[in-house]
Amino acid sequence: MYQVDAFTDKLFSGNPAAVVILESPLTDDVMQSIAGENNLSETAFVSIHENPVSIRWFTPSIEVDLCGHATLASARILFDYYPDRAGEEINFDSKSGNLKVTKCNDGLCLNFPADQPIEKKIDSLFIEILDIEPLKLLRGKDDYLAIFKNQKQIEDMQPKLFLLKKINARGLVISAPGDEVDFVSRCFYPEAGIEEDPVTGSAHTMLTPYWANQFNKEDLEGHQLSKRGGKLNCRLVNDRVYISGNSVIYFEGTISIV
């Protein structure tokens, strides 16, 4: 097992992910138990005995269909430690289809399906959760997206997380234009065992199409304003989102399962 800080070039920032390399299968229960023991926002299980290499992601409490930072972390480990399985481009088989990862000037680049959010009527529940009415409320494949006027509102927001279980979604993303970048965001997933995610690659498959349309540009720079913080370079190309960022390897070790 390895642990990698993703979407950062500094240790102890970005989003930490565990990467477990499997040479033979594990049961779902064991993988969930390992993820719970790690107690990180995500643990990725990478099956290098399969072709193409398969990847699955577990929070401390559930399996999820897509995770950006743990995919970037997994690719970093394959490129550095398993080059014979990586080559020039990694193709992961996942519950969200084929996911490609390549090396780029910004570290590694993820090629993910775009998630075009649909605008919804602003429900009073969201005003209660956020203590302020958003400019817009949208719904993506997995999450709600609440849009605000400026970065300070995003920084100061203190959502009532206990109410998020009522929204019938994986979680809630809040976002606004940034002071020094194109857009900023924060992501909350208490139902998945993650109160506030440090950096969320999958949320940027929804954020990128939204802000690309607002700014009428394909290339965007995003900053997730969690305590650890993370920076992502995003590009929208047709129905795909390219998300690139750096990573730092924190440790490598061996799991003992008796």
pLDDT tens across 45-91, in order? 999 999 999 999 999 999 999 999 999 999 999 999 999 888 889 99
Mean pLDDT, the chain, rounded, equals: 95
Q: For the domain with range 2-113+244-252, which CATH number is right: 3.30.460.10, 3.30.43.10, 3.30.2130.10, 3.10.310.10?
A: 3.10.310.10
d(CA 98, CA 115): 15
Residue 218 has pLDDT above 80, yes or no: yes
At 193, is the pLDDT very low, low, confident or very high (cuts 50, 70, 90)?
confident
Residues of the chain with CATH 3.10.310.10: 2-113+244-252, 118-241
Residue 258 has pLDDT above 80, yes or no: no
Please pick, among 37, 42, 180, 218, the residue that the annotation labels catalytic: 42
**Among 6, 206, 200, 12, which Cα is nearest to 106's?**
6
Residue 165 has pLDDT above 90, yes or no: no
- Contact by Cβ (8 Å): 164, 192: no
d(CA 56, CA 49): 14
What is the structure's pLDDT at 257? 87
Residue appearing with tokens 């606004």: 176
- Contact by Cβ (8 Å): 245, 232: yes
Residue 125: CB atoms within 10 A of its CB come to: 12
d(CA 256, CA 114): 38
Structure tokens that stand for 34 in this block: 């390992």
- Contact by Cβ (8 Å): 255, 30: no
Q: What percent of the chain stands above pLDDT 70?
A: 100
- Using left for φ > 0, alpha for ψ between -120 and 50, and beta otherwise, residue 113 falls in beta
- Contact by Cβ (8 Å): 110, 74: no
What is the structure's pLDDT at 142? 92
**Among 114, 109, 82, which Cα is nearest to 97's?**
114
What is the structure's pLDDT at 161? 94
Structure tokens that stand for 177 in this block: 């234009």
At 196, is the pLDDT very low, low, confident or very high (cuts 50, 70, 90)?
very high
Express each pLDDT in 81-138 by its tens digit: 999 888 889 999 999 999 999 999 889 999 999 999 999 999 999 999 999 999 999 9
Task: Identify the CATH class of 118-241.
Answer: alpha beta
Express each pLDDT in 221-230 by its tens digit: 999 999 999 9
Strands 143-147 and 171-177: parallel
- Contact by Cβ (8 Å): 220, 214: no
Residue 162: CB atoms within 10 A of its CB come to: 9
Clarify whether 42 is annotated catalytic.
yes
- Contact by Cβ (8 Å): 74, 91: no
d(CA 228, CA 189): 16
What is the structure's pLDDT at 88? 87
Mean pLDDT, rounded, for 185-213: 94
pTM metric for this prediction: 0.91
Structure tokens that stand for 48 in this block: 């290098």
Residue 36 has pLDDT above 80, yes or no: yes
Residue type, 161: L
- Contact by Cβ (8 Å): 145, 157: no
